[in-house]
Amino acid sequence: CRCCAEGRRHSSILYSILRSEERAVPPAGPAPRGCPCGSRRRVALRSPQVACKAASAVLVKTLRFVQNVPCFQELPLEEQLLLVRSCWAPLLLLGLAQDRVHLETVESAEPSMLQRILTARQQGEQPPPRAPASGRPQHGPHLPSAGDIQAIKGFLAKCWSLDISTKEYAYLKGTVLFNPDLPGLQCTQYIEGLQREAQQALNEHVRLIHRGDEARFAKLNVVLSLLRSINANVVAELFFRPIIGAVNMDDMLLEMLCAKL
């Protein structure tokens, strides 16, 4: 396809665009140990409007960054949307880490299963149904669990402990954005080349700037592996549902992608 034919010409453009971003808190403490059932507690943002506003601003900034990469613009709109749909959540989390957005959460006021059983018995009612086989209780609003939030906080803490630079964030975003393994892509060779170049640029930058830290490149790749463990639905529920309700992220991303941000 035309994209594959022009891949070599645009690879140098990607290198320069990925180097153009700017910005880079103290590392959070280690995850508390306790009963594993604690990780299934429902939690919510302490100040949802503040956090959601910050996340929305980061999402706009992230998509603006994506749109400013000429190599990305060369792709057909269908391919662009496929890539953004698959990576908007990890890109958003990288942006939150880069902008040092802290998450303050509170436990949901929903009573525990034991409390509901005891209350029902006192009132002569039937006890509530048991949780489904998945182990996750049914809720009206799909509040993230404490484990979900801890995964996000752990990712942010890892980024901050590494003191990732502006250029390193840009290369990480390029690696995440250009994922050639998505089903339905046509320009896989072109996209694979761009991802490889982003990784090579990151490696070269690390070797040049962090000469005494031979493990830094591996540590940055651990950041990418942490991203893969975070569910995009959890990110949507946490940052967007409290303000705009049951949002269809595909529709919102398409609208934002086609708009001039």
pLDDT at 224 over 90: yes
Question: With contact defined as beta carbons under 8 Å apart, do 249 and 163 qualify?
Answer: no
pLDDT, tens only, 59-93: 999 999 998 998 998 999 899 999 999 999 999 99
What would the mean pLDDT of 195-222 be, rounded to a whole number? Answer: 94
| SS3 category, 145 | strand
Domain 45-107+142-259 sits in CATH at 1.10.565.10
pTM strictly above 0.85: no
| SS3 category, 5 | helix
243: its two tokens: 């303000």
Question: With contact defined as beta carbons under 8 Å apart, do 145 and 39 qualify?
Answer: yes
37 exposed, middle or buried (CB, 10 Å; 0-12, 13-18, 19+)? exposed
